[in-house]
Structure 1
Amino acid sequence: MNPVPTRDELRAHLVRTMIAGDVATPRQNNLLHYRRMAAGHPYYQFGLELKPSWTEQTVLEMMVERCGVNADPRHGYGDDTIDPEITLDTLEAMGDRIGLAARRRESVILATGHPSTLGPLYQAVARALEEAGCRLLTPAAGWTYEIETGYGGSDLRRIVYAEPGVAMLEDCGAAGVRQAQHTHDSLPMETMLHELATTAPADSPEAKPDFWPDLAIADHGWAGAAGQAGIDTVGFADCNDPALFAGAAEGKIDVAVPLDDGVAPRHYAPLTAYILDRAGLGPSA
């Protein structure tokens, strides 16, 4: 277990590793995604049915408030920012909700579209929740679907679970080569929830809570689909992922933690320790 940083120590770590503060996400990419989300492009909605009243301007204003991006609409190129204070506040809110799940021994579903970077964080949280008596749900394991790759090509993706129960997508791969894949898609989570909803015993309605998540811990479309289904959802989002912040503004996402989701996995270890300590699941609990 990594040592638990103080809030000041974690703030310094976030800025030093560019998880927050000045981040490497290009401003032009952020603004493009804001425009496309406001236009209702499904890929940028993350499975959420967002209000049609969003405009590029109101998305930017919302991202300033909830993420801490540069407020100047004339800033069109270069890097952008994430406010580390917002990251810290929302990490604490996430830890509080995870702690509540642990105390209640809730049913939890975990999923990430960034397995190569955030995977270890999710796995550590999953282990802590399982040890606390929570039920980790793992529906639709092995389900596959085809995605377009451009130029008429396609790939097959499969839902797999990293121990002890973190959903991610795997490339079914040519020649037997399999690799965890980045995804924004909401369809995998929608499929998982559909399986849960259709396999609960029809003659035992009181058992339904055991088959339905009380909490989802996720990102990208995994989080958006869970929030849209009415599940308490906490998750991570980069400053080019406005949909989850919009979902939080509309009350469909409980906590959206702003951070750069593409740095080296080891740099998220202090965040993991901080979340688990806040949840009462760390070494000092």
Structure 2
Amino acid sequence: MGSESVSRGELREQLVRSGIAGEVATPREGNLRHYRRMVAKDPRYQFGLRLRDRSFDETLAMMARLCGVDPNPEHTRGVDTIDPDLTLDALDAMGERIGAAAAEGATVLLATGHPDTLLDVYRAIEDALRAAGCTVLTPAAGWSYASRLWEPAPYREIAYASGVAALVGADGRWRHTHDPEPMRAVLASLDGELPRLVVADHGWAGAAGEAGIETVGFADCNDPALFAGLDEGKIAVTVPLDDGLSPHLYEPLTAYLLHRAQLT
């Protein structure tokens, strides 16, 4: 399967075969550790969202319902799961939102904290939206900061791959991030002229959702904040998937998403 549209059944098989969903490489112990950190209000695991108080048990139950992880609290190590049907349902919902924005020729913003693995997904969405007449915003290029969430605080700068925002380090290489500060800087630079839709992940998505912008995004099973944001109505769609795999594995998913958005 490549860039051509795939059926739901074909994609379900590929999601499980590739490890994007089904049994995933994201370890159970890491998942549970991140859930506890979100519950404890660790800002590194809030993704810029102001979330209500919830217990660990509530968080695990939420992640089982919205992502498909094992609901058993006694399962503390080893393999965890993402429900491929939840992934597909969320892709359908994301496609509808992207398609509606495209039909309006809306203003959109795209950003990723996983440029090493997901950039091609975002670039394909960008190209399809531009072809549909959308305006893709690229504000605050070159804005830089030293992240307050990590020690030692690394230098980071906003850069764009065409119309997709991500962070680079001092060496110009793409960097992974959870931080909401870059999206906050992007939105502040727009001086109130906010996008109609944001397509993003990690802190890019959380900060946009917290700002009241319609936001759709991707999240791994160790990233509970965007699922909590979905649960609280701050994030419109959160697609559960393993976000750390080889970029080519996401090509069928991308084709399916753009087909659902009626952009192919």
Q: Same fold (TM over 0.5)?
A: yes
Q: Secondary structure at the match of 1:160?
A: strand
Query: What letter corresponds to residue 243 of structure 1 in structure 2?
Result: A
Q: Secondary structure at the match of 1:77?
A: coil
Deviation at residue 43 of structure 1 after TM alignment: 0.8
Residue of structure 1 in register with 2:188 after alignment: 194
Is 1:63–1:242's contact at 8 Å kept on the other side of the alignment? Answer: yes
- Using the size of structure 1 for normalisation, the TM-score is 0.90
Residue of structure 2 in register with 1:101 after alignment: 101
Gaps of 5+ in 1: 201-210
The total of aligned residue pairs comes to: 263
For 1:263 and 1:11, how far apart are their aligned partners in 2?
16
Q: Which has the larger radius of gyration?
A: 1
Q: Secondary structure at the match of 1:277?
A: helix
Whether 2:154 is the aligned partner of 1:158: answer no
C-alpha spacing 1:186/1:149, structure 2 compared with 1 (3 Å): closer
Per-residue deviation, residues 151-194 of structure 1 (Å, max 9, x unmatched): x644311100101x000001122xxxx20000000000011001
For 2:243 and 2:78, how far apart are their aligned partners in 1?
18
Residue of structure 1 in register with 2:122 after alignment: 122
Is 1:149–1:155's contact at 8 Å kept on the other side of the alignment? Answer: no
Residue of structure 1 in register with 2:211 after alignment: 229
Whether 2:29 is the aligned partner of 1:28: answer yes
Which of residues 207, 214, 218 in structure 1 aligns to 2:196? 214
For 1:234 and 1:155, how far apart are their aligned partners in 2?
28
Q: Secondary structure at the match of 1:25?
A: coil
Q: Which 4+ residue blocks in structure 1 deviate beyond 2 angstroms?
A: 147-150, 152-155
For 1:278 and 1:48, how far apart are their aligned partners in 2?
28
Is 2:147–2:153's contact at 8 Å kept on the other side of the alignment? Answer: yes
For 2:44 and 2:36, how far apart are their aligned partners in 1?
12
For 1:148 and 1:73, how far apart are their aligned partners in 2?
32
Per-residue deviation, residues 73-123 of structure 1 (Å, max 9, x unmatched): 100000100000000000010001000000001110000000010000000
Which of residues 171, 175, 180 in structure 1 aligns to 2:174? 180
Which of residues 232, 257, 274 in structure 1 aligns to 2:239? 257
For 2:229 and 2:138, how far apart are their aligned partners in 1?
24
Q: CA RMSD in A?
A: 1.3
Percent of residue pairs bearing the same amino acid type: 56
- Using the size of structure 2 for normalisation, the TM-score is 0.97
For 1:257 and 1:147, how far apart are their aligned partners in 2?
27
Residue of structure 1 in register with 2:167 after alignment: 169
For 2:20 and 2:55, how far apart are their aligned partners in 1?
27
Q: Secondary structure at the match of 1:189?
A: helix
For 2:149 and 2:107, how far apart are their aligned partners in 1?
35
Is 2:43–2:149's contact at 8 Å kept on the other side of the alignment? Answer: no
Per-residue deviation, residues 187-243 of structure 1 (Å, max 9, x unmatched): 00011001112xx6xxxxxxxxxx311100000000000000000000000000000
Gaps of 5+ in 2: none
Query: What letter corresponds to residue 156 of structure 2 in structure 1?
Result: R
Query: What letter corresponds to residue 252 of structure 1 in structure 2?
Result: K
Per-residue deviation, residues 130-164 of structure 1 (Å, max 9, x unmatched): 111101111111000113697x644311100101x
Is 2:44–2:149's contact at 8 Å kept on the other side of the alignment? Answer: no
Q: Secondary structure at the match of 2:245?
A: coil
Whether 2:3 is the aligned partner of 1:5: answer no
Residue of structure 2 in register with 1:42 after alignment: 43
